[in-house]
Structure 1
Amino acid sequence: MANHKSALKRAKQSEARRMRNRARKSRMKTAIRKLEEAIRANAVAEAEQRLRETTSIIAKTAAKGTIHRNTASRKISRLSKKVNMLKAAQSA
């Protein structure tokens, strides 16, 4: 454990950041899970709504530095692709 005053402060800051990042990641994963459930249920309207919400949450998570922006972009792209395939399947 840290002995110096500055090291103790760093340890506290690191723990606070870890918890903040954990909460952001958890929120993002929950949103993704709900979107994928809507896709599996073939609910197009709900999936489109959840995609907008999820995209926003993923972008915010990346903007805060919790995940890399390329990771966020990849996740958004893959989820959008799934929703678009669902829409195409419904209209065909």
Structure 2
Amino acid sequence: MPNIESAIKRVRTNENANALNSSQLSAMRTAVKKFEQAVEAGADNVADLHQAAVKAIDMAETKGLVHKNKANRDKSRLSKKIAK
């Protein structure tokens, strides 16, 4: 445990940032999984779920949670699945 006041504050802010980052990354993964399950089931709302998944990926990329190339790769894979 740090003794210096600024280091104590950094620990606090890092915990808050980690919680926000983790929740946003989890939301991205959940959106992608919902889309993939809908494609397999042949649901009617596949286009809406695709749009939500792409938005979640873009937001995670903007925040620096995933690399640009990974985001593009994931979006490309989702687009391939919707094209089938």
| Partner SS for 1:31 | helix
**1:65 Cα deviation from its structure 2 partner:** 1.2
Greater C-alpha Rg: 1
| Partner SS for 1:66 | coil
Task: Name segments (4+ residues, structure 1) moved above 4 Å.
Answer: none
TM-score (ref. length: structure 1): 0.84
Q: Please list the CA deviations of residues 22-64 of structure 1 after superposition, one character each: whole Å capped at 9, or x if unmatched.
A: 1101111111111011111123x42121111110111011101
Q: Is 1:74 aligned to residue 79 of structure 2?
A: no
| Partner SS for 1:67 | coil
Structure 2 counterparts to residues 56-67 of structure 1, below 5 A: 56-67=55-66
Q: Structure 2: which 5+ residue stretches go unaligned? A: none
Partner of 1:14: 14
Structure 2 counterparts to residues 33-72 of structure 1, below 5 A: 33-43=33-43, 45-72=44-71
The CA RMSD over aligned residues, in Å, is 1.1
TM-score (ref. length: structure 2): 0.92
| Aligned length in residues | 84
